[in-house]
Amino acid sequence: MSMELWTSAISMNLSFHTRSSSFSLLTTNNSNLFHKTNNTLYKFLHLSPSSRQFYPLQHSFFKPPPTHLSASSSATASNTKNVEKEDKLPADIDVTEVKEPNSRVRLTVTVPPIVCDDCYKGVMRELSKQAKVPGFRPGKQVPDSILISYAGKRNVERATIESILKRILPHALSSVNGIALQDSVRINTSFSEMEKTYASSNSLKFDVVVDVLPEVRWNPEDGYKNLKIVVEIDNEITAEVACERELKRRYKTLGPMRIVTERGLQVGDVVVVDISAATIEEGGKDSQKIPSAESKGFNFDTEDAENVLPGFLDSIIGIRQGETKSFPLVFPESWRQEDLRGVQAQFTVECKELFYRELPPFDDSLAEKLLPGCSTLEEVREALLQRCRELEITAKEQATDNAILDQLRKLVEVDIPQSLYEEEGRQMYGGKLLEIQAQMKLNDEQLASLTNPKTVAEYIEHEKENIVQVIKQNLAVGDIFKRENLQVSTDEVVKEIESSIAEFKKHQQEYDEERVREQVQEVLEGAKVLEWLRENAEIQYITR
């Protein structure tokens, strides 16, 4: 007769991997790909020890076949210390620690027979309480020999091994308490091998590998202090210029487009053209097409001439619908595509459609249409200018922060654990999905396609370099926060948490409040570090 006995209030989540002959410690994590990060410029990993906790093993009895052991998802690093104090082992276990690449630690744990026997007795007591053995009243002590015969010797041995692991792991992991990364604990010895060891010697020996919080090495030491930062700013993007552009853009929307029939292209018109280009070679060499310069149905507003190749507008002035013009141009040395700088090219442009705007008089009567609430053009200008000044400040601050973070990444060396790399990759992918969801409502089929493990893995592999740089940046920021004893006020945290949760509810998204709290803390800590760095750095602004 087969049977299954379970302990109450214990969740199982340790999956067995047959290919690698090892089973990995996993946790039931409430977070998922759709956790929303705080909507600010910064997103940093939380680096305080309590945020990177390992999860001591829990177990269930007699779950044949024993291809699944289990892990609790609610234990904390502090709980591990409590376990050690409350659970006095009858003898010491032997733990050998070896550091491995990528911030990984291997622990070889040897459990003596006296400890294994103590765990065996606990298993038998639990089995005696739960087993419904014919001839014995529930809860009545049943002789071990009868229990073993009833449940099966191998099942008892397996349950004992699970009990040993559940009890011993918190003790074995005490040396990495506070630095072990969440969800990274992995038992690297096959269950069958442990069965053989236990059956032959009444002892147990197994390996545990765990990723730990990586050490941040600064080169030079304290290199983040007194940074010298050069920030490039677009010369033309001033608040005044942006204001006039926005005013002109809004004005253009007030006039209908009319087809030009009796003349050629003039400044102020909008033209739709097909463009092709090829290099001009010397010495009789064959010209080469320039794919990046080709465009079909290019919609060109002639008042935006600064956005196209110098000389392009002048070369097509006067072109009529259906007409084709061919002309040479040279890409300037400042052109954004390096491979085209200085290249001589022959352009061919065919005019497909030609329009002009029929605009109303530019006076105060348009104020309300240009910006609701305004009664004069001057009021419109002032309001737009104020907005643009705020955007200018924000853009300058963001450019400064980006330059600082880029410099930090160059100053640190970090051995990145695989679990941390994968976690960051999943979070970045989740952020991308949130952007997609904000733009369009995904149905279940689309969502399933975008969240399947293969798609996520492909994204993480494709974004490998970016993920590594983000982790280095985050770890550098966290290290500075700790070194400089920076603080975030409770009021700030509470206010941001309330704001974030309100956003979740507004968009009817699920959230984990504890995870929101962690992410808010991360964001505020990052902002505090950048504020400190801006105050202590030598910053030079140059225009492009």
Instruction: Name the superfamily (CATH) of residues 14-213.
Output: Trigger factor ribosome-binding domain (3.30.70.1050)
Best CATH choice for the domain 256-358 from the list 3.50.30.50, 3.40.50.10740, 3.30.1490.20, 3.10.50.40: 3.10.50.40
Q: Is the pLDDT of residue 494 over 90?
A: yes
The lowest-confidence range among 47-56, 131-140, 141-150 is 47-56
Name residue 186's amino acid: R
**CA separation (Å) from 466 to 219, 409, 460, 470, 471?**
21, 11, 9, 6, 9
DSSP state of 45: -
Q: Is the pLDDT of residue 319 over 90?
A: yes
| Angle at 541 (CA atoms; ends 536, 544), nearest 5 degrees | 155
DSSP notation for 447-470: HHHHHSHHHHHHHHHHTHHHHHHH
Mean pLDDT of 168-176: 92
Please give the residue that has the higher pLDDT: either 248 or 5.
248
Q: Which two tokens stand for residue 505?
A: 């509810």
Buried b (16+ CB within 10 A) or exposed e, 144-169: eeebbebbbeebbbbbbbbbbbbbbb
CA-only gyration radius of the chain, Å: 33
Instruction: Select, from the ranges 26-35, 277-286, 300-309, 325-334, the one with the highest average predicted confidence (pLDDT).
Output: 325-334
pLDDT tens-digit map of 49-104 = 222 222 222 222 233 222 222 222 223 344 455 554 567 899 999 999 999 999 99
Q: Where do runs of H (alpha helix) occur along 266-337?
A: 312-316
Q: At what angle do helices 513-536 and 464-483 cross, to 10 degrees?
A: 70
Question: Where are the domains positioned within the chain?
Answer: 14-213, 256-358, 377-543
Please give the residue that has the higher pLDDT: either 129 or 71.
129
**What pLDDT shows up at residue 21?**
29
Does the model's pTM come out above 0.75? no
> Residue 165 in contact with residue 188, Cβ under 8 Å?
no
Q: How many CA atoms lie within 13 A of 257 on its CB side?
A: 11
> Residue 119 in contact with residue 142, Cβ under 8 Å?
no
Q: Which two tokens stand for residue 177?
A: 């308490």
Q: Is the pLDDT of residue 13 over 90?
A: no
Distance from C-alpha of 483 to C-alpha of 504, rounded to nearest angstrom: 34
Confidence of residue 504 (pLDDT cuts 50, 70, 90): confident
Confidence of residue 108 (pLDDT cuts 50, 70, 90): very high
The fold for domain 377-543 equals Trigger factor, domain 2 (1.10.3120)
Name the residue among 35, 11, 28 with its Cα closest to residue 512: 35
For 231, phi then psi, to 5°, come to: -110, 125
Distance from C-alpha of 20 to C-alpha of 13, rounded to nearest angstrom: 18
Please give the residue that has the higher pLDDT: either 412 or 5.
412
**CA separation (Å) from 444 to 431, 441, 451, 452, 481?**
18, 10, 10, 12, 42
pLDDT over 70 percentage in the chain? 82
- Which helix (DSSP H) or strand (DSSP E) does residue 17 occupy? strand 14-17
Confidence of residue 497 (pLDDT cuts 50, 70, 90): very high
Q: Is the pLDDT of residue 336 over 60?
A: yes
**What pLDDT shows up at residue 25?**
26
